[in-house]
Structure 1
Amino acid sequence: MAQSTQEHAMLTGISPELFNFKRIVYSKKNYIATIAINRPDVLNCFDQLTLLELSNAFLDASRDDAIAVVVVTGVGDKAFCTGADLKEQRRSDSQETK
């Protein structure tokens, strides 16, 4: 079975631009991987997609022998991260009860 570009990138530790992340900004330079949560409009809270993208970025960095350090930060000047996206959780709970 053919691998997707994203799967190939995760397995080989190649350019982070190939991931096409929506909720995080991921870069690698000079032995440092930087992961920035990019949801400043909701104070960088985690939704399911953010968690998936974070997991993929951490996996890629762990498989890349050129990475010695991972820095996690948040976009914006109000908050690094406020935790879980409770609105998403409420929507999910509401759909389960229907």
Structure 2
Amino acid sequence: MGGYALLKGLIMPVNRVSPPSLHNPSGRISQVVTVEGARLAHLSGQVAWDTQGRPVGLGDHEAQAVQIAHNLDAASACARCLVCSSSGRVGSSMRTRPKPQ
């Protein structure tokens, strides 16, 4: 799914991605959206779901926060890959958190 955005008077391609490491309940949203030529990524709101869409840590706010942080890490890693590949840069530093149990 692509599209275009007007940025600084230029029409630029838009990348919409839902990485397999994040559950996408409807398939109608994109978890990560970037605009080629810009260093800006939009991440969808994340909830405490695992990759299969099962709730994590029911009644346990700490476990839910850890899962959400893991999901945000996965989405931001995807965004870094898109931004780096569209700008011609290779590699990025990645901060990770332990995967929830």
Q: TM-score range by the shorter chain?
A: 0.3 to 0.5
Q: Which has the higher helix share?
A: 1
Q: Which has the higher contact order (CA 8 A, sep 6+)?
A: 1
TM-score by length of 1: 0.35
